[in-house]
A = this chain, B = another copy of it.
Amino acid sequence: MSIRIGILGYGNLGKGVECAIRQNPDTELAAVFTRRRPEDVSVLTEGVPVCGIGDAVKWTDKIDVMILCGGSATDLPEQTPEFARMFNVIDSFDTHARIPEHFANVDAAAKEGGKVGIISVGWDPGMFSLNRLYANAILPDGKDYTFWGKGVSQGHSDAVRRVAGVKDAKQYTIPVEAALEAVRNGENPELGTRQKHTRECFVVLEEGADAAKVEKEIREMPNYFSDYDTTVHFISGEELKRDHSGIPHGGFVLRSGRTGMNCENSHLIEYSLKLDSNPEFTASVLLAYARAAYRLSQEGQSGCKTVFDIAPAYLSAKSGEELRKIML
C-alpha cells in the first residue's frame, strides 16, 4: 500500500509536491486542501479531490501524511500545530530565529495527537542545515560559510515591487565568486555582508516613472539592499516574462577545518545546490521526509522532529539491505 499524501495549500510548493509524488511510486496524492473555493482550483493530477481546508478533519483516516505548503510568516505558525493534532505533518518553516518556538508548539500538539511532525524541511533550513551539522561534528575546529544563489529571492523581489513606480520586478541574490574562492583556498576569510553577496534587480517601470529615483530608492532600501552592492536593470514587461519567469536558486555550504597534533592539516567540506526550480526541489525534500514521518509514525513515535533527528535510511524507498549493497 502506498503512502497517502495530503497537500495543504496549492501554490508553487504544493504543485511541486504534486509533481514529486509522480516520481515516487510508493506515494500517492489523496487530496488537496485549499483556503480558496475548491471549485476554483484545478489540480494537475486527474481524479484527485480538492477540498476546503475546513474539511480536512474528515480525512484523518484517509491521509497518512499532510504536507503543509503555506508560508512561514503567518500560515505555518498556526497551521502546523493545528494539523499535527490530526495528521502526521511536514512543513518548510524557514524563519530561522523562530524555529525553537515553532518546534515547541508543534511538539506539544503532535504528542497530544500521537502524531509525528517534521518541521523546517527543505534546503535551507534542511539540506544546508544537515551539512552544517555533519561538517561541524567531523571538524570541530573550523569555520562555516553559507552562500546563497545565484537565485531569485521572493522577499527581495516583493520589496522591489513595493517601490513606487515599479510595475513588476525580479531580484537575484548572487554569491561573490572571489569570496567563495578565498574560502575554498582555506584562507578562512572574515566576510561581511557586502563581501559575500551582490544583488541584481530586473525592474519594469510604471509608465512615466522616474528611473533614477526608483534605482536610488531600491539601492538605499535598509535591510534589503543598503548593505549590498546592488545593480538595477530596467527592462520591458515582455523581457521580464521571457527571461526571468523561472524560480532558480541554490547555494553553497562550506566548512574549512584543521586536524593533526598541531592543527597542521587543512580540510574543506563543500556542499552545493544548483536548482532550476526552488519550489520543486523543496517539495522533493518535503516528500522524502513525508516518507520518514510515515515510517516513524508506524513505529509508534510521536512529537516534533527536524532533519537532525531522522536517520537517512528513513528517506529512501529502498530497504536497508538494498541501500547497504548499492549505495554504501
Write the residues of chain A forming the contact surface with B, with a CB cutoff of 8 angstroms.
16, 19-20, 22-24, 44, 96, 99-100, 103, 120, 125, 127, 129-134, 136-141, 184, 259-261, 264-277, 280-281, 283-285, 288, 291, 306-313, 315-317, 320-321, 323-325, 327-328
Q: Are A137 and B316 in contact, CB atoms less than 8 angstroms apart?
A: yes
Pick 23 A–B contacts, CB within 8 A, sort by A: A16-B259, A20-B259, A23-B259, A133-B323, A133-B327, A134-B315, A136-B316, A137-B288, A138-B281, A184-B274, A259-B277, A265-B276, A265-B277, A268-B275, A269-B271, A269-B273, A270-B270, A307-B312, A308-B324, A308-B327, A309-B312, A310-B311, A312-B312
State A20–B276 Cα separation when bound (angstroms).
39
A276 to chain B, nearest CB (A): 4
State A264–B15 Cα separation when bound (angstroms).
14
The 5 closest A-B pairs by CB, nearest first: A265-B276, A137-B315, A265-B277, A308-B313, A259-B280
State A272–B277 Cα separation when bound (angstroms).
23
Residues of B within 8 A of A141 (CB): 23
A75 to chain B, nearest CB (A): 19
Which of A134, A184, A283, A316: most chain B Cβ within 10 A? A134
- Asked whether A100 and B137 contact (CB < 8 A) given A130-B312, A265-B277, A273-B267, the answer is no
What number of copies of this chain does the assembly contain? Answer: 2
| Interface of A (DSSP majority class) | helix
Residues of B within 8 A of A311 (CB): 308-311
State A260–B307 Cα separation when bound (angstroms).
24
Residues of B within 8 A of A280 (CB): 259-260, 265
Q: Are B140 and A312 in contact, CB atoms less than 8 angstroms apart?
A: no
State A313–B140 Cα separation when bound (angstroms).
14
Q: Are B281 and A274 in contact, CB atoms less than 8 angstroms apart?
A: no
State A309–B314 Cα separation when bound (angstroms).
8
Q: Are A268 and B260 in contact, CB atoms less than 8 angstroms apart?
A: no
Q: Are A139 and B328 in contact, CB atoms less than 8 angstroms apart?
A: no
A169 to chain B, nearest CB (A): 22
State A309–B315 Cα separation when bound (angstroms).
11
Q: Are B261 and A103 in contact, CB atoms less than 8 angstroms apart?
A: no
Partner of A259, one of B19, B131, B137, B267: B19
Partner of A281, one of B259, B316, B317: B259
State A270–B275 Cα separation when bound (angstroms).
11
Q: Are B125 and A328 in contact, CB atoms less than 8 angstroms apart?
A: yes
Residues of B within 8 A of A274 (CB): 184, 267-268, 270
Residues of B within 8 A of A272 (CB): 268-271
State A203–B312 Cα separation when bound (angstroms).
43
Partner of A284, one of B120, B259, B284, B307: B259
State A22–B139 Cα separation when bound (angstroms).
12
A311 to chain B, nearest CB (A): 5
Q: Are B320 and A309 in contact, CB atoms less than 8 angstroms apart?
A: yes
Q: Are A100 and B267 in contact, CB atoms less than 8 angstroms apart?
A: no
Q: Are B284 and A138 in contact, CB atoms less than 8 angstroms apart?
A: yes
Residues of B within 8 A of A307 (CB): 312, 328
Residues of B within 8 A of A134 (CB): 127, 130, 312, 315
